[in-house]
Amino acid sequence: MKKQGGFSAEGTRLQNINLSTHNGDVASGRGVTDGAGYLGAFRKLDTATQSPQFAGGEKGYIYDVAPTPNMVDVAATLGERTRKPEDGEVAALGRIDSTQIRGWRPVIDGKVGDFVANPDYRWDVYDQTHIASPQPQLSGFAADDSAWGDASRRPFVEKRESGDKTVYAAHEDPNLATAQFYAHAKEKIRSLERGESYLGPVAIRAKNDLLNGVFGTLGAGAVFRSDGSTSFTGPDDSYVGVIIPKQAKPDFGNLELAPDGRLQFTGDMLKGEVVRVGSNGRLYVDRRPADVNDQNGVFRYDNRSRLVHVPDGKWVTYGPDGHAYLTDDTKPSPFEALKTEWGIVDSTGHAVSPPPSPSAFTNTDAGTANTLYRFERDSDSALAPQATHFVTEVPILSRYDTLGSWLDRVNDKSSSAPDPLGKWLNERNAAWLFPDGYYVVAPTPDRLEVRNLEGASKATLELKTPGAPFVLTQSQAIHPDYKIPQSIWKRLADYTQTRQRLSELQAPA
């Protein structure tokens, strides 16, 4: 398995990939792999042990596989057409990588052995991934299958009458939809492999390059008492500051930005302790507060490489004595400004960035704090049911930095909402996203709906006259008070470009 890099069905011809066919093969006992492009996995160990592979006492292994975004819940996608839904199958499109396998259990004479951990498991990547939401466009049903008429699938097809039969034409070419889904899933995994949204031990080092390359690293300094004890309960006992070694040495991972936004120590001596802010503004080591609503010591890492203290918006710097403290100096000298910048690296020295903390978000017009947090962790979480992806631009239109600027042009009865816009979005099952957290979808080619990331309606536009621009028929006041972080916007823009390239490759010559 390791030599092969995992398990792969990537050699399957695109036109042969079909989730419904795969489900039928698995349900009929033909095995978990076939010629339909998917690899079968199951939620329950008991189901896996019943695989035909182990019939007659054959030896083998059951692999514990981490969920990934190229995996589809078969029953949730195929619905009532699922064969043997009790299997609880999750089908992986394309491949299961060896580094996403947590471990395995040997099966000998029908008996399952002890779990063996995979030493190559990438916990930093696959502890954060999950399977995709239901994907109706990947169902793979025949064009005349009435299942396409169900409410969950109807937005992805156009109903047509052909003689005495009703047929359904997919909005997007099924091969293109499959390729785009797979490419998008792999891009999500690659972003984690690059160190984005990294959760694990890190070194937080000062950006300024002092003493011929010896970087100062954020750490704890402690007072050791005469009785041999060490106390870390307040600013008088243990401070947090920049430790500059006398000689250059590799960074060490002694901190982590925990999911709740706290800087948490990972070393043996201070394991579980966190960074807090004293009344004097200095950082010190303390126990994690019992009150979950206490935001003292909750930080976020912004796009200027600053550690921002969430309660007051101040950022971490350090003084001549090395002590770290908070500052809100808006006009610092160039050197003092540099001291507020921090690089975050893993134990190998690779630059990483932490995920956002739920506590760093507040309710906005674009969505609730929880919705914004989930969006920044996975933008697909905010998609409308009839959309498969966001796009950051529409080729037939100019670019708009805000929803308001686009709506202003619509009100001016300009060509900012031309007739083809609804058709373009509808045929691609796309949601057109704006940087301030609103998007436009087209449930039908002659209707546009403006929503926030919560899914709440903000405006409706209708095509009253074919060939004429859309007309605003309903609207609510918008109060733009959120901006999608630049790193996330760039990622979404890259996704948009990838989809466009795939579309061009699939286009008829």
Active site residue ranges: 89
Please tell me the distance from the alpha carbon of residue 490 to that of residue 487, in angstroms, as a whole number: 5
Nearest to 434 by CA among 373, 378, 485, 484: 484
Q: Is 477 helix (H, G, I), strand (E, B) or coil?
A: coil
Please tell me the distance from the alpha carbon of residue 239 to that of residue 418, in angstroms, as a whole number: 61
Please tell me the distance from the alpha carbon of residue 400 to that of residue 434, in angstroms, as a whole number: 7
Please tell me the distance from the alpha carbon of residue 132 to that of residue 74, in angstroms, as a whole number: 11
Where would I find the H helices in 316-451? 334-338, 369-377, 403-411, 419-428
- 3-state SS of the chain: helix, strand, coil percent to 5? 25, 30, 45
Where would I find the H helices in 69-118? 74-78
User: Phi then psi for 410, rounded to 5 degrees?
Assistant: -65, -45
CA geometry: angle 82, 33, 121, nearest 5 deg: 105
**Chain mean position to CA 54:** 36
- The label of the residue with tokens 């309903």 reads 474
Find out whether 155 and 178 touch, Cβ atoms under 8 Å: no
